[in-house]
Amino acid sequence: MHDAQQVSLNFALAAVLLAAAATAQEQPQLVPGPQELAPAQIPQVAPEPVAATPAPQTTAPSPGEARVRAGIVLLGVLHDTLARIQNTESAEAAVPDIMRIARELQSWGQGFASLPPLDETTQSEYEKKYLPIINRINESIRIQAERVAAAEFYGSENLPAALIRLVNSVQ
């Protein structure tokens, strides 16, 4: 069996790598996919008075921003998956989900290569808008990973291997 503290440290490192990737000059490394943020996760904007100005055009996010949002959603899924682990049965049940998330992280990173690079202004805007969210989720992921590791993976022999694969997928 893998040393619980080492897996926990590696997993925390993976969460930090995800945050660091978001600030890298190239582009953030989040997961691809058509997923969008849930309405509660989208920042709310105060409505403009109807008589003062015409309603602003609603536009779809750019491909880069959509990818960042999809990555945030995937981080949330990872957090929720870890949070559901409370016993041996739930630990074993989480393994296929963690393996799927690891594959999606790999695909996501590769998917950014097809997008045009961000200009400095856009990158700065994304960092201000999304990096605090990514950091909060990563901290929550770290806490859940430490909890699961401290419980010695609830006796699951497959969970540590799945978490190591996840860590390796973001390195």
- On the question of pLDDT at 39 being above 80, the answer is no
Q: Which has the minimum average pLDDT: 37-41, 115-119, 161-165?
A: 37-41
Q: Report phi then psi at 59, rounded to 5.
A: -120, 150
pLDDT band for position 58 (cuts 50, 70, 90): low
- Residue 16's pLDDT is what? 41
Six-digit token string for 94: 């989480």
- Residue 4's pLDDT is what? 44
Distance between CA atoms of 20 and 9, rounded to whole angstroms? 16
Quote the pTM value.
0.69
Please write the tens of the pLDDT for every residue from 114-143.
888 888 999 899 999 999 999 999 999 999
Q: Which of 36, 26, 102 is nearest to 65 (CA)?
A: 36
- Residue 138's pLDDT is what? 93
- On the question of pLDDT at 42 being above 60, the answer is no
- Residue 118's pLDDT is what? 84
